[in-house]
Amino acid sequence: MSAPTTPRSRLRRRVLAAAGAGVAVLAVLGTGVAARFGPQVRLDDAVSRALYAGDDRSALRGGLLEVLTTPGVTWFRVLVFLPVLVWLVRRRAWRTVVWVVVAITAVGPITTTIKELVGRARPAFENGGLVYEGLSYPSGHSSGIATLVTVGLVLAWPRLRPSGAGSPSPPGSRWPSWSR
C-alpha cells in the first residue's frame, strides 16, 4: 500500500516532469546537431533563410532586432529580476533567491558549454550571418529569453488562479487573473 499523495508531492512530480521534458527536448535537438541529422539541418536552414534580416538592413530593423533579442542577455535578466530579488530578500526567501540568481546568471555559461560540447560556436557574422555553415544551436539569446520567461512563470504561478467571482477577468474566461 502506497502513501497518500499530497498536493505538494503532486506539484513536485509535475515540476520534475516538466523539467525532464525540457531536458529531453534539449538532448534530442543537441543529438541532432552533433550528428548533423539531415531533416533537422534542412529545417534549420529553411527557417534561417526565411527569417534572415539581411546584412544591409535599415537602422529601424536593426534597432527592432536589438530590442527583441536584448531579453536574452544576462544584464537584462538581472535588471528585470532585481526588484523581485529585493522583495524575496526582504521576505527572507533565501532558497528562492539562490534559485533565481543561479537560473538567471548560469544560463549563459551553460549555453556556452553546450555549444562547445556539440562543436557549435557562435555564428560568425563578419561575411554575412546567412552564409554560416551549420546550425547555431543552442542560441544564447533564445536560452536566455526562455530562462527569463520560465523564472517569471515559476515565481508568478502561486499568485495566479483561474478566473472566477470577483476577478478582473471576464466571466467564463479561461485567462488567469492575479490574486492577492
Buried b vs exposed e over 145-164: b needs ≥16 C-beta within 10 Å?
bbbbeebeeebeeeeeeebe
Q: For residue 173, what pLDDT is reported?
A: 41
Q: For residue 152, what pLDDT is reported?
A: 87
Cell numbers placing 15: 515540476
**DSSP-derived 3-state class of residue 1:** coil
- At position 164, the amino acid (one-letter code) is G
| Contact criterion met (CB below 8 Å) for 164 and 136 | no
Q: What is the pLDDT of residues 121-175, one digit of tens each?
A: 665 555 555 555 555 666 777 888 888 888 888 888 777 766 544 444 444 444 4
Share of the chain above pLDDT 90, in %: 11
Q: What is the mean pLDDT of the chain?
A: 75
Q: Which has more confidence, 119 or 24?
A: 24
Hunting for cell 530578500 — which residue is that?
Answer: 89
- At position 36, the amino acid (one-letter code) is R
State pTM to two decimals.
Answer: 0.64
Q: What is the pLDDT of residues 54-74, one digit of tens each?
A: 667 778 877 887 777 788 888
Residue 155: name the closest of 76, 99, 102, 116 by CA: 99
Q: For residue 87, what pLDDT is reported?
A: 92
Q: Which has more confidence, 2 or 155?
A: 155
Comparing 12-21, 102-111, 139-148, 169-178, which segment has the lowest mean pLDDT? 169-178
∠ CA(43), CA(65), CA(132), 5° rounding?
Answer: 40
- The CA-based diameter of the chain, rounded to the nearest angstrom, is 68
Paired residues of 178 in beta bridges: 160
- Could you tell me which residues come within 8 angstroms of residue 132 by beta carbon, excluding any fewer than 6 positions away? 123, 124, 125
Asked whether the predicted pLDDT for residue 115 surpasses 60, the reply is yes
